[in-house]
Structure 1
Amino acid sequence: MALHMIRLCVGVATVEELLERQRVHEPRGPWLMRTRQTPKRAAELVDGGSLYRVFKGVILCRQAILAVATVGEGIAARCEVTLDPTPVRVAPTPRRAFQGWRYLEPKDAPEDLPLEAFGDIPSELARQLREVGAW
């Protein structure tokens, strides 16, 4: 059964900014999320799990987790989570701040939004409309 991971996106306010940052920092390489701790339930994450990203207190997108690997040894060991390069927008869901990453059970994960849900409306405007209940 799939298990998801959730992590704050610090210094980035929108999905578009995340895409631009990735394009600049790792233009040809895979999407990697680096962290200190290797998840003990890594097999469940790779079995259909996704990384849900929190932007300014709201979950806005997810990326499928393709692999989880420990890099280095001993005190220098780190974890690299390889992600699908295409973020999938999800129903904006409020989430309080936390440190590091957390597991997210499938029953608690927000639903994916259909591609046509945004149309030509900027994602920030769509978020504001959802917050006030107008969309």
Structure 2
Amino acid sequence: MALHMIKLCVGCDTVEELLAWGHGDAGVGKPWILRTRQTPKRAVEMVDGGSVFRVFKGVILCRQPILHIETVGEGVHARCELSLDPQVVRVAPTPRRAFQGWRYLEPKDAPADLSMEAFGDVPTDLARQLREAGVW
């Protein structure tokens, strides 16, 4: 069973801002590189179908499938690079408290993917309010 990672999205307030930033940094269609200090001890489980779920202002809004995890550098300069699929998948807005760094996210706790055909282009604020009200 795949294991996921959850990480705060710092510097972007919306999924649209993340998309604009990511496409400008990596280029359209190329894998995104996410750098972290610590390499996950359970990296093998994460590469086998896992995703990075992103938290924007206290709400999980999207995920990106993990393609590859690699440790680069040595000693105190070692860092982890996660190659992410450029495809950003929106998920059901789910509240999440702030935390530092990243955390594992078990599949049973992961928000469900949103069907864009079913809901169209719902504004993020409205989606969050509907989720909090239990309507969505």
Fold conserved between structures, TM > 0.5 = yes
Q: Check the 8 A contact 1:50/1:63 in 2, yes or no.
A: yes
Displacement of 1:13? 1.0
Match of 1:40 in 2: 41
- Contact 2:94 2:128 (8 Å CA) reproduced: no
Which aligned pairs between 1:56-71 and structure 2 lie closer than 5 A? 56-71=57-72
Question: RMSD of the TM alignment (CA)?
Answer: 1.6
Runs of 5+ in structure 2 lacking a partner? none
C-alpha distance in 2, partners of 1:120/1:62? 17
* CA apart distance, 1:133: 4.6
Letter in 2 for 1:25: D
The one-letter code matched in structure 2 to 1:26 is A
- Cα distance change of structure 1 residues 107 and 53 upon mapping to structure 2, 3 Å threshold: same
1:81 corresponding residue in structure 2 = 82
Size of the aligned set, in residue pairs, is 135
Between the aligned partners of 2:104 and 2:65, the Cα distance in structure 1 is 14
Label 1:89 to 1:120 Cα distance change in 2 as closer, same or farther (>3 A).
Answer: closer
Q: Give percent identity, aligned residues only.
A: 73
How far, CA to CA, are the matches of 1:17 and 1:132 in structure 2? 26
